[in-house]
Homo-oligomer: A and B are copies of this chain.
Amino acid sequence: MPRVRDVQLYDEMLEAIKTLARAQMSQEGTSSLSLRGIARDLGVTAPALYRYFPSRDDLITALIVDGFTALAHTLEAADANHDCADYRGRFADICRAYRRFALERSVDFQLIYGNPIPGYVAPKEVTVPTVIQVFTVFSIVFIEAFNAGKLKPLPQDRLQPTVVAGLEQIITRNQVPTDVPVMYGVFAAWTKIHGVVMLELFHHLEQTVGDTALFFENELALLIDQLGFL
Interface residues of A, count at CB 8 A = 54
A113 touches B204 (CB 8 A): yes
A207 touches B163 (CB 8 A): no
- Which of A10-18, A43-51, A215-223 is the interface stretch? A215-223
- The quantity of this chain's copies bound in the complex is 2
A163 CB contact (under 8 Å) in B28, B32, B192, B214: B214
Chain B residues closer than 8 Å to A116, beta-carbon distance: 29, 202
Which residues between 101 and 143 of chain A lie within 8 Å of chain B, taking CB atoms? 110, 113-119, 128, 131, 135
A115 CB contact (under 8 Å) in B110, B187, B191: B110
A28 CB contact (under 8 Å) in B110, B119, B162: B119
- The distance from the CB of A63 to the nearest CB of chain B, in whole angstroms, is 15
Question: Is A194 an interface residue when CB atoms closer than 8 A count as contact?
Answer: yes
B160 touches A218 (CB 8 A): yes
Q: Which residue of B lies closest to A186 (CB)?
A: B208
A211 touches B135 (CB 8 A): no
A209 touches B167 (CB 8 A): yes
- Which of A28, A117, A190, A191 has the most chain B CB within a 10 Å cutoff? A191
Please encode chain A, from 6 to 40, with 1 for each CB lying within 8 Å of some chain B CB and 0 for all others.
00000000000000000000001111100000000
Question: Is A195 an interface residue when CB atoms closer than 8 A count as contact?
Answer: yes
A210 and B161 CA atoms in complex are apart in Å by: 12
A195 and B202 CA atoms in complex are apart in Å by: 13
Question: Is A81 an interface residue when CB atoms closer than 8 A count as contact?
Answer: no
Chain B residues closer than 8 Å to A194, beta-carbon distance: 195, 198-199
Q: List 5 A-B contacts (CB under 8 A).
A: A160-B215, A163-B210, A190-B199, A191-B195, A198-B198
| Residues of A near any B CB (own CB < 8 A) | 28-32, 110, 113-119, 128, 131, 135, 154, 158-160, 162-163, 165-167, 169-170, 187-188, 190-196, 198-199, 202, 204-205, 207-211, 214-215, 217-219, 221-222, 226
